[in-house]
Chain A
């Protein structure tokens, strides 16, 4: 009867489950990187480099675009990497069942998925910094902006991952394709990634639409720390909105997860 005397190994179980996800990601690194890098690389190249070289957009546009694309990659990276595997896990593969039968409260199994999605989102955002600087060599980033940028990225990826859990547990696998198009496309284009939010005051209705999108606060927060010379929302406001949005989405996502995990 040794096993009952011990306290439930919550911390060890959580670490083991996270460890499993990291081991699998490490093995599938090339396909993971291709998945998160190709689209933003082309966006940077076409909008930041090609259109600038052809004279259709101003030279300084790269300064606006790069922080936005990093924010987009971290946020969408977190969202996709949580939502897609979850829909599969709860329908076809059922691989998650072994973790649902581990001695870890179901909420913490859900929390692990959000943490893991956040890590993938941060990786997706971080690798964009050197690549962006190679594609857009004229970009001037604030020195010493790396650490605060990491913090904004992590918070952004966390919100994305939590939203991903809401989507992944609310949508059936048959509907996931449609939902991804219907949810992701507007999120990507109303998130102030390709334009600074304050400059939208000439288009107030669109400014309001963008203000509802949490991605806007990731993009603006990234600009606040990386290119402070460009008009942006105050950093404290971005962090506050992201913290609240993250907490609300995480709670909703964990509840959705609980409903799917236990009948």
Chain B
């Protein structure tokens, strides 16, 4: 069963020249951790806004747990939990009361909500601080309170909007562990992020979006694999004499190797080769091309490109 279904979803804000979300389609399976990756302004938050009933779509269809979010928002809200990007905790209440009232809004019975609040505070490492006000909590603690709050009514789908932006490494790791634990419990998680390592580490599948459109959708490793020239070989070379002309010769010779997709000269006499093949497969040809140029190979470094390279390849490098 699909926990989330989005079909040709479009959202255009009044007065905006372009749609914030433009015919976006994807499905999230039940129990999956799904990442929506994109630069700022890509439409991630708008997509989550529509899915969590806080924004009305201009066109298309969005369902959570099989329920149409535009037609039956109150029913959808019982199925989903939201951890927003910005702290929106109730500052007039204590940490525990934030959890208790949230559950009460969702109709959870008194005894049940007390028990769940105690459990979640324990799990989030906040058992000692339950009765504190929110005035003195750090960003990481506030994030944990918001996760605990979102889980109080036991949602089937949890939406995390930029869950680790602005957090210290400890808090970030804690959030990541939380996501894994939720997956083990069978909760579907949809998270938006622009942090590649986070998406690669946590998500079963990642949708890369930009300007409201879906650019790619697959498992992180598969996205990297499909990228042309996703393996690099960096060669450190020592030239015997007349370095300049030799370097040009070497570049020409390496470019001529069929399995090498691109040759990039690097500072310090190094050369980087991009290929889609296995390194061992292309090395013989590379060594053969180097022979007879009076060069000795002093070092070899093999690396795989990451999700970041996929992301930059798809969305471009310019700042916005």
Contact = CB atoms under 8 A, between A and B. Distances in A.
What's the dominant secondary structure at chain A's contact region?
Answer: helix
Interface residues on B, range: 20 to 34
A262 B53 contact: yes
A91 to B, nearest CB: 12
Given A8-B74, A94-B88, A3 B49 contact: no
A24 B92 contact: yes
A12 interface: yes
A38 to B, nearest CB: 22
B93 interface: yes
Interface in B58-114: 65, 73-75, 77-79, 82, 84, 86, 88-93, 97-98, 101-102, 104-107
A134 interface: no
Interface stretch (A54-62, A64-72, A96-104): A96-104
Nearest to A24: B92
A16 B101 contact: yes
Contact of B74 (A19, A28, A103, A263): A103
Contact of A98 (B49, B90, B107, B154): B90
B104 A101 contact: no
- Which of B65, B97, B104 has the most A CB atoms < 10 Å from its CB? B104
Contact of B88 (A9, A12, A98): A98
Contact of B107 (A12, A20, A99): A12
Given A4-B78, A16-B104, A263-B13, A93 B49 contact: no
Contacts of A105: 73-74
Contacts of A239: none
A263 B56 contact: yes
Interface string B1-23: 00000000000010000000000
A51 interface: no
Contacts of A24: 92-93
Interface in A5-27: 6, 8-9, 12-13, 16-17, 19-20, 23-24, 27
Nearest to A27: B92
B303 to A, nearest CB: 43
B77 A102 contact: yes
B31 to A, nearest CB: 15
Given A24-B93, A93-B91, A101 B54 contact: yes
B149 interface: yes
Contact of A103 (B75, B82, B91): B75
Contacts of B153: 3
B104 A12 contact: yes
Given A103-B77, A263-B49, A263-B54, A13 B107 contact: yes
Given A4-B78, A262-B53, A102 B105 contact: yes
Interface in A141-188: none
11 contacts: A4-B75, A4-B79, A9-B107, A16-B104, A94-B84, A94-B88, A98-B105, A101-B77, A102-B106, A103-B75, A262-B55
Interface of B: 13, 49, 52-56, 65, 73-75, 77-79, 82, 84, 86, 88-93, 97-98, 101-102, 104-107, 149, 153-154
Given A23-B97, A103-B105, 6 more contacts: A3-B78, A20-B93, A94-B86, A98-B149, A105-B74, A262-B55
Interface of A: 3-4, 6, 8-9, 12-13, 16-17, 19-20, 23-24, 27-28, 93-95, 97-106, 261-263
